[in-house]
Structure 1
Amino acid sequence: MIDGLGRVEPGGPAEDAATRSALRDLVMAATVRIHGPERGYVPEGSGGSFLGSGFFIAPSWVLTCAHVALQGEGRDVTVIFETGPRSGETSVAGTVVAALPEPAPEHLPGELGPAGPRGGGWPAPDLALVRLRRPVEHACVYVTERPAAFFGGGAVLYSGWTEVGGRIKRLSGQLAVQGTVGGWSDPEDEQVRLGGDVLPPGVSGGPAVDLARGEVVGVLKSQLVGGMGGTSIGIERLRSLPVPAAMAEAEADDDYQAVFHAHDRYHADRQLTRADTGWTWADVQTSLGAGADRALSPQQRILLLGRLAELPPPVSTHSLLDLLVRLPGVHRVERYPAPRSWRDGLGVLYETRGGGAALELVLRYCMSAIAAERPYVTGATAAAEEALWDWVKFIADDRLSRDFRNEIALLWSAARHRTDRAQRRAAPAYGERPRAGERSFVLLELEPRGWERDSYDWRVGVARHSGEVLPVAEDSRGTPGNALPTRLTGSLAEAFRRCDEPDSPAVLQVAVVRQQLGLEVEGWRLAPDEPPLGALRPVVVRCSDREPPLSEEEAREYRSRWSRTADAAIRAEIIDCEDGLRVPVPQEERLRSLAYETVPVLCRYAARPDGETAAGLGRVVRGGFHVALLRRGESRPEAVCAEFHRRAAHTVAEADGAEQLPRILMELRQGVHAGRAEMFWSDGVALFYDDPHHPLPGSGQLLEAP
């Protein structure tokens, strides 16, 4: 009930029951069952093709579990649903367009785990998006925009399908929230523990709805074998869907943005229509009191999200994070996974502050979205910006001070008089884009466990220009070397998303001890059908060995050598090979006599360097060199290496400074992967790149402004 002042009061028993019933009807109307592709299948019977449950997350889009959707034949499925009591069943073909994670090509879907709610054979997050092949009328759930699974109470409503007496029937029920499984060291594997009811086979892939707030927060993944309850995956894991490498040119170029823009427009349209007098999700949320502690009522929130969904999406996660931290009172966003869309950014604001300042923060965020850099514009973009401004102005005029209204009016005036509606990337609407050497990068630290052969502890973080490293994930339990690519896939993907810009992937710096610099991280494949990591982004290595403290004179010389090579003409110097024969790396005094613009090249480094080779690189480091090329691979003393010397010298000379070398080496690796013979000389070459302006955590080096 709502009192005369507009405050939500608890309803009576009859009203509470009506609200819960309305919520259950909304959930069940959007819940579907997933079958294999139709080939003579009769929907009323079990037919042997029933795979599990799912739900409409947006018009023409179904969300389910990967272990459900990929148990069929290939990526084709049949979606069967009912829109209401006695409405009859509708059957429509669909295609799995994305799975998290995607199965390895050598595995058949049936080998990865049984269909049904157990799902034990498919790793988290175990989500799949199905796109319908033809338009049909159907209901959609409302999905939370919060940055992580949040429960306003201690129970969730679930819905799904199961076989009873040889027939497939829908069911619903309640589960108690009992805690989590995973997290911290395994953030990509975190699941919510649910109990209090038996989850029968078939409900896996169905929605988990927060009963206190009336919004979908998760997807049922597994049942507890021999017990009550199971687990669900947070809906926010969809943020880890693959991000297009190139700049999006339309909404459909990014599945994540396409799904949630359609979701938010759907609910805004349902809230505004006069043709349907039934309960909407916002009506249910209002009756539940879900807006009592928020700056916006459920109706206002849904209408705002609908207007934000008319705008082109943020250029990147990195740009959205930058926009958020520029708002007053918003602190660094550390939630995993990071926000990706305008709706995700709004969800971040819910956890920052309360009181009267909360509404001002939301409206400032809207003004930032209006002024933000665009990946593309359409003929409707200007009208969408004006519609959002009209909403902001209406809310501000009704509830906020004259000073604040004047402030945002000036922001709107500046935005609408821009002539660059397309927002050229060279001149963003907020802040200054950093130079190449000032961008954030991903830092992977690998620490060998000396008492366990070929085993590593690791940390993944985002290193900012300030020198701060923001942690993403870590594991100190020991990971075998051959398992590192698989184990690190989710954490690296999240870190990359926080740094990447379209057409400009962030650098991956791999910090290992000197004896392990032969580790070919650039050859890892983080997804079954992806090229090697080094062909997708710049990958460089650096030493994590602790070096003795530098004297003041040595430190000055090191800085001078780096400054000379960073963005000026450079040249290569082969230091361990003469006339095709291996020679010792010169002593430090001889190395220091080389010109400051020199880039040492170790032709005979090999994949597993011996003690002398590792010691030679140590002399290079102590000689003040921050950049070097290391030729890895099998040690072949009889090999003729003149062509390598020639090509390496030419490549270094063509670079406009050492800051260009990481991307030049990425282009060479792309050429090797594409089979371009003229680039084969670079196969196995690593770039040692130890930027003194970004010292490793705990190194004790002082940060110098560039």
Structure 2
Amino acid sequence: MTGPSERLHALATAATVHLLPAGGEDKPLWGSGFFVAPGWVLTAAHVLRQHLRADRELAFRVRGEGIDAAARLAEWLLTDPDRPVVPLDEDLALVRLLGDADEQPHECVWLADRAVRHSGPVRVYGYYPEPPHTRARAVDAEINGHEDEYGLIIRPDVDFPAGVSGGPLLDPATGAVVGLVKSRRRQQDGGKAVAIAALRRFGETYRAVVAAHDRWHGTEPVSESGDNWIDQQSGPVADAGAGWTPADRREALSLLATLPAPPDAPTVEALATRARSGTRLPGPPPDLRTWRDGYGLLYEGAHPLDPLAFLRYLRFVDAYVRARGEPCAPLGAWIERRLRRDPRREMHAFVRDVQLPDELGAAPAERAGRVVIPYPGPGEGPTVAVLLDPVIGSEPTRFFWQIWLDDGDGTGDPELHETDDSVHGRLPGELVQALRRPLGDLLRAKDRRDRPVPLEVALPAEHFDIAVHRWRFDDIAQLDDAGHLGARRRVVLRSLARRGDPDKLWTDRWQAMTARQRFVSWRTPQRGVVTTGRGYREAAVDRVPVMCRPAGRGPGRAALKLALENGHGVALWHIDGHATRTCAEDCDTLHAKAQELLGTLGSLAELPDRLRHLRQDISERRAGHTWAEPLALLYDDPRRPLPAEETETLDAPL
């Protein structure tokens, strides 16, 4: 290498470190890593696993050019440290230096911001296991394939010793680190690497680390050689003239790093999509946890879009943050300065005239005096359940109904309150009239002031699109009664197939979810992704499936079936949504607002009443909540199982 490439190589070498046991010995060498932010080292989880399996608090050493410091594991992605082979998407660990990071200055790599995984040439850095361990080495390689969601395949024409594991992969064309070494291939040269986007799986820690990374680079630090990482970058991201330059990118990301984090991935995707004039990237969107991640969607391959697209995105973010009362004057001022440098004055309105869509405008203030009522668990209060059992062989489908009451005092099982006395069952359109008296009377009898009893409706999943929350039992509602069931009380759906004793998958996931305080929307089925039963079974417990389509037909029916079979007890879906596989822009809005709803929760038990608040606002014609009107909620608590199925089958009469 010569010229700028040689100087960039020196910066990458300076940021690469190796991990050793505590004490003065130089061996054994555990593996390599690299600084991603002041005081933060990224490495492969398997490098640390064998040494920290028994004690994750064990201190060790991080050593590199000009640095020899004590450190501890901050976090790793391993779900089972005893697993024989570490999966690609779990083979990351973040290490934190002990003491004050400002007192231990060091170089930090520049992390790739583009959404797509790298293909093509890379330089692989790391420390070799044989002494002296005085300097990181580098070897040229090539990424010629991908595996799973985060895997990079290194072409089999180089051999990596074990000590290189955890070292960075530098894209020489863009000057950005695009991954880290995972392993050699068995019985052949080459190896595997983990794309840097997997860092996002650290969640809140990722947000903190990447913000520190962007703020540090934003100070334009100069190395001992007098070089700055961004100044040495070239290639597609540094188009001449009016192009978006690495210096522009550094300034923009540094300013974004000072803002409050976005509330959810759908909001980030929606703003980036609008910056791209409505054009979406093919395939499923990446995990979007920061404003930086949305910025990374503004590329075509390795090439940045027009500068006006970046400035438009920044203006959208600026507007979103200001609408929530957060000051961001430096970002707005920089957008104006950068826009004045663009000679295409006739196109500046593309940036200056952006307006947030109504659904992403200022969040409405919480109504004074409104209390969120947690949904009752076992022994925590009464519930009423309506079981709708399809008549076998009926066409169109008819139902027999039963009404059950759980007094909620924890002293006994639910009691059968009343049953359907019809001969042929009821059509869906006849259910309200049939249930008006028996169910309405029971609900009114059990309601307490300002605390209406919850209603559970259990039916087969293929009939989950029956609009139960729209039912209305009073022809003339009282002035203080919103009228519709879903606006008056918590209305949830349950799976009739789960009658009787719950299975372990369902029970374990529910127990884990009730211990959480934060939840995220999981868009399912994902665009361009075939999610298997295993995907639902292994999904993080803070994920709530949200569908912009009905649950009773098409891809929605298949998705909900997999969710139920693999232990999910909570889901949201649009009963009037599209049954096709192609999403519209309204779908992005639905998912963004669903995440906002989930973001208000302090516990899982708050979800039914939070949704009721939205339905009440809709019924009272308050603006901004119509997106929630078609939402249905599965809230299926295995701790309060439905009564077991009767032994007699319900057949259609001859």
What interval of TM-score do these two structures reach, taking the shorter chain for normalisation? 0.5 to 0.7
* CA shift for structure 1 position 572: 7.5
- Corresponding position of 2:336: 393
Which residue in the other structure is 1:129 paired with?
94
Pair 1:103 & 2:79 matched:
yes
Instruction: Establish whether residue 19 from structure 1 lines up as the match of residue 1 from structure 2.
Output: no
CA gap of 1:221–1:103, structure 2 versus 1, over 3 A, is: same
Aligned counterparts of 2:168 and 2:568: Cα–Cα separation in 1: 49
Report the CA distance between 1:31 and its aligned residue. 0.8
Deviations 1:531-585 (A, max 9, x none): xxxxxxxxxx999xxx9996xxx9xx99xxxxxxxxxxxx98249x997799999
Distance 1:95 1:693 in 2: 48
- 1:262 is matched with 212
Query: Is residue 662–residue 687 contact of structure 1 (8 Å, CA) maintained in 2?
Result: no
Asked if 1:217 corresponds to 2:178, the answer is yes
Distance in 2 separating the partners of 1:19 and 1:325:
35
Which letter maps to 2:183? S
Q: Distance in 2 between matches of 1:324 and 1:659?
A: 35
**d(CA) in 1 for partners of 2:194, 2:512:** 40
Q: Does 1:112 align with 2:112?
A: no
Counterpart residue number, 2:403: 573
Q: Is 2:254 the partner of 1:306?
A: yes
**Counterpart position of 1:162:** 128
Alpha-carbon distance change, 112 to 66 in structure 1, aligned in 2, over 3 angstroms: same
> d(CA) in 1 for partners of 2:191 and 2:161?
10
Aligned length in residues: 449
Cα offset, 1:688, TM superposition: 10
Q: Deviations over 1:231-285 (max 9, x none)?
A: 111001112223xxxxxxxxxxx211111111111112125x7x97712112221
The aligned amino acid for 1:174 is V
Identity of aligned residues (%): 25
Q: 1: CA distance between counterparts of 2:73 and 2:64?
A: 20
Partners of 1:303 and 1:685 in 2: CA distance = 43
Aligned to 1:430: 361
Instruction: Provide the C-alpha distance between the structure 2 equivalents of 1:237 and 1:196, rounded to a whole number of angstroms.
Output: 25
Gaps of 5+ in 2: 365-371, 373-386, 406-412, 440-457, 470-483, 499-505, 516-566, 582-586, 588-626, 631-654
Which structure 1 residue ranges, 5 or more long, are not aligned? 1-15, 114-119, 243-253, 416-425, 434-502, 504-540, 559-570, 602-615, 629-652, 675-683
Matched-pair contact (CA < 8 Å) for 2:141–2:155: yes
Does the residue aligned with 1:71 lie in a helix, a strand or coil?
Answer: helix
| 1:595 is aligned to 2:432 | yes
CA RMSD across the alignment: 4.9
Q: 1:661 aligns with which of 468, 484, 492?
A: 492
Write the letter of the residue equivalent to 1:573. I
Contact 1:51 1:202 in 2 (8 A): yes
Whole-Å separation in 1 of the counterparts to 2:464 and 2:206 = 49
Q: Give 2:576's aligned residue.
A: 693
Q: TM-score by structure 2 length?
A: 0.58
On the 8 A contact 1:64/1:219 being kept in 2, the answer is: yes
**Candidates 294, 307, 326, aligned match of 1:359:** 307
* 1:350 has 2:350 as partner: no
Match 1:69 to one of 32, 45, 48: 48
- Code of the residue aligned with 2:274 in structure 1: it is R
1:82 aligns to 2:64 (yes or no): yes
Contact 1:627 1:690 (8 Å CA) reproduced: no
Alignment of 1:665-676 (within 5 A): none
Task: State the alpha-carbon separation in 2 of the partners of residues 348 and 406 from structure 1.
Answer: 22
Deviation of 1:26 (Å): 0.7
Pair 1:277–1:672, CA change in 2 (3 A): closer
Aligned with residue 137 of structure 2, among 172, 178, 181? 172
Cα 1:225/1:686, change in 2 over 3 Å: closer
- Judging changes above 3 Å, is the alpha-carbon distance between structure 1 residues 133 and 162 closer, same or farther for their aligned structure 2 residues? same
How is 1:279-294 mapped onto 2 (pairs within 5 angstroms)?
A: 279-286=227-234, 290-292=237-239
1:52 aligns with 2:13: no
CA distance in 2, matches of 1:227, 1:319: 44
The counterpart of 1:197, out of the listed 150, 158, 161, is: 158
Task: Tell me the distance in 1 between the aligned counterparts of 2:228 and 2:296.
Answer: 21
Equivalent AA in structure 1 for residue 83 of structure 2: L
Distance 1:318 1:365 in 2: 14
C-alpha displacement at 1:326, in angstroms? 2.6
The one-letter code matched in structure 2 to 1:263 is: H
Q: Is the 8 A contact 1:156 1:175 kept in 2?
A: yes
Greater Cα shift, 338-347 or 577-586: 577-586
Which amino acid in structure 1 is aligned with residue 215 of structure 2?
Answer: R
Cα displacement string for residues 459-484 of structure 1 (whole angstroms, at most 9, x for unaligned residues): xxxxxxxxxxxxxxxxxxxxxxxxxx
Q: CA distance change for structure 1 residues 578 and 279 in 2, over 3 Å: closer, same or farther?
A: closer
Q: Which residue number corresponds to residue 295 of structure 1? A: 243
**Structure 2 counterpart of 1:180, which letter?**
G
State the alpha-carbon separation in 2 of the partners of residues 121 and 316 from structure 1.
29
Matched residues in 1 for 2:121 and 2:462: separation? 58
After superposition, give the CA deviation of every residue in 1:497-527 in whole Å (9 maximum; x if it has no partner). Answer: xxxxxx9xxxxxxxxxxxxxxxxxxxxxxxx
Q: Look up the SS of the partner of 2:318 in the other structure.
A: helix
Aligned-pair CA distance for 1:366: 1.0
Q: SS at 2:253's partner residue?
A: helix
Distance in 2 of aligned mates of 1:78 and 1:394: 47
Counterpart residue identity of residue 158, structure 1: V
The 3-state SS of whatever aligns with 1:389 is: helix
AA matched with 1:164? E
Change (3 A) 1:622 1:303: closer
In 1, Cα distance between equivalents of 2:111 and 2:279: 25
User: Residues 394, 671 of structure 1: CA spacing in aligned structure 2 closer, same or farther, 3 A cutoff?
Assistant: closer
Question: Which secondary structure state, in structure 2, belongs to the residue aligned with residue 372 of structure 1?
Answer: helix
What is residue 187 of structure 2 aligned with on the other side?
226
Aligned amino acid, residue 251 of structure 2: L
1:469-548 matches, cutoff 5 A: none
Amino acid at match of 1:193: I
2:110 equivalent in structure 1? 142
Q: Is the 8 A contact 2:324 2:362 kept in 1?
A: no
Change (3 A) 1:24 1:587: farther
| CA shift for structure 1 position 321 | 1.3
1:320 and 2:271 aligned: no
Shift of 1:210: 0.6
Partner-residue secondary structure (3-state), 1:237: helix
Contact 1:588 1:622 in 2 (8 A): no
User: How far 1:157 moved relative to its partner?
Assistant: 0.7
Deviation (angstroms), 1:60: 1.1
Contact 1:125/1:233 (<8 A) preserved: no
Deviations 1:199-251 (A, max 9, x none): 00111111001111111000100101232210111001112223xxxxxxxxx
Alignment deviations for residues 132-171 of structure 1 (CA, whole Å, 9 cap, x no partner): 22122111000110012224xx321111112216x54544
Deviations, residues 628-666 of structure 1 (Å, cap 9, x unaligned)? 9xxxxxxxxxxxxxxxxxxxxxxxx99646874269x99
